[in-house]
Chains A and B, each alone.
Chain A
C-alpha cells in the first residue's frame, strides 16, 4: 500500500537501530502519549529492538481508557432510555462502566449500534425519524472536528433527532497535568501524529520552553516511530529541547485551519474528568449554547448512579505512565482481554491490552537490535 509499506522497510529500520546504538549513552524515559503509538510499538516489537537504556512509557492517549466511569455510566443511561438508538465507535463497546457496559446493554436489548463514522450515525437518524439517535462523542482533537461537522450537517439538513453526548478531550492540558505530577520523570515526548495533523506543532511549545523537554511529533509506521526515538535521543545528547515534526508528510506547523475553525464553531473548552488524572481544567469540549438542540445533555434526564472503581485496578497509574501493566496484581490473571477489569485491558488501544497481546512473553534478546535467529522466550516482567 502506497505511503504505508515504504515505512515498514526492515533495512531502513536496521539503519535507525544502529544509529540509536551509536548515539544512546544514558538511560532515558520517553512517553508516547498516543494509544495508537502504543499499539504500533507493541505490535511491531519495537520495544525489544531499541537499545535497552531507552524505555518507552505509555501515556493517557487512548480516548477509551481516559473516559471516566461517570461518563461511561452516562452513555449506558442514555442507551437504556426508551426510543433511543445509541451510536458509538466500536472502541467503546466493551469498556466496563461502574455497573455495566454498552455491549452488555445491547445484549439486554438496548439499541446500541457500532459505526465507523459519525456521518453513518447521522444516516441512522435520518432513517429513524421517530427515535432519538445519540452519538457517543469520544476522541481527541483528531475526532472531535468530525463530530462538529456532523452537528453542522444536521443543522443544515434540519435533522433534529440527532444528538451528541460529548466526552471529547484535549491532549496538551493532559500533558501539562502529567508534567506537573511529581512521580513522573520524563525526558521527552513522542507526540501524537494525527492530533497534531489538526492542532499543528505550536500547542506543544510550552513543554520545551517551560519544562525543557524535547518533543517529536511522530507518524505511526515503525520507521516513523524509530526515527522519532532517534531524534529525541539526539536532542537529549546535545541538550536541546525543542518541538520537531518527524511526520512531515501529514503535519504542518499550523495544523489544519479548516478543521480547527469547524471545531471552534460548535465546541467550547470546559473542564473534564479524566480516568487516572482526575479533573483537569479546560481539558474537555462542551457543545456551545448555539447548538444545544443537538446536545444530548440538554434533553435526556440522565440519572446516573455514583461511579464505582474496580478494586485493585491500576489503570489510573498506568495511564499516567508511573506504573506499567506488569506492576498490576490483576494483569494476566483476573484481568485479561476475555475478562477485562479496567479500560486499559478492554480497549484494543489500551496499554494493558497491547502488553498482554504482544508482550506478555518478552523475547529475551541479549544483544538488543541484533536481528536474526529466534532467541529464547521468558515470561516478561
Chain B
C-alpha cells in the first residue's frame, strides 16, 4: 500500500520539484541569493501561482455560471416561493431536487464539483513530501528528486524565513523562530479562510438561504476551523504552511472579485452592486426583466380578480399582459 502510494505520488513530486527549481533559478538569475530563504519562499509562492493559474479556466466557468444564474432567477424564485417557510426535511429535499433539475434544464450550475480540490491535493502532498524529504536527501539517505540534488536539497533545507527553516515543523523544532512563524502562518491561514467563508455567507447568500439549518451548521464550523488548522499546522513544514496560506489568499481575492462583479441574486452584495451602478447612472442588469415579470404578474392577478366581477375587462387585462410580455422579449434581446 505504501509503495503504491509512493509510486503514485512520485510523478507529482517530480513536477513540484521542477516547478520550484525553475522559479528558484529564475529568482537567482534576477539577483537573489540562491541560498536565501526569500528565493525558496518565493519559489513556493511561484508554485501556487502556476497551480492556480492552471485552474483559471475553471474560474471563468464559474463566472459564466453566475452570469447565467441571473437569467434563470425568475424560475428559481418560483421554486423558492413554492417552498417558502417549509422546513421539514422532505420539503427541503424536494426543493433541492427541483432546483438541481432546473440547473440541468437550463445548462448551468453554480457548483464546481469537488474535482478542483481533488486535483490540488496531490500537489499539496507532493510539496509536503519534497520539503519533508530535504534533510534526508541532503544527507544522502534518500533518493534525489529530479533537479533537487543532494547539494540543492542541502541549500533549500538551510534556507530560512524570518529565522525559521522552510523544512521545519513546529513539533520537531526547538527554536523560537519556527514556533513564532508557524503560529503566525496558522493565524493568517485561519484569517484568510474565515474571511473567504464569511464573505460568501454574509454578502453572497440570499437572505432566504441564510436561515436554513445547513447555513447555521456551516457558521458553527467556521469557528471550529482555526482549531483544525492549528492541529494540522503544527505537523506541517513551514513551506507547506506558506503554500497553504498563499493559495488561501488567491481564493480570497478571486472570490472577492466574483462577489463584487457577479453577486448571487438576492444577496447583500447584489444590492450593493446595484447601488454602485445606480450611482454611476448605469443600467442595472436584470432589472428590466424583473419589472416586466412583475407587471405581467400584476396583470395576471388583475385578470384573475376581475374575472369574477366584470367579464368585459378580461380582454383589457389580456391586452396589457401580452403587451408587457412583448416588452420583456424585446428587452432580453439587448
Whether chains A and B associate is no
Residues of B within 8 A of A (CB): none
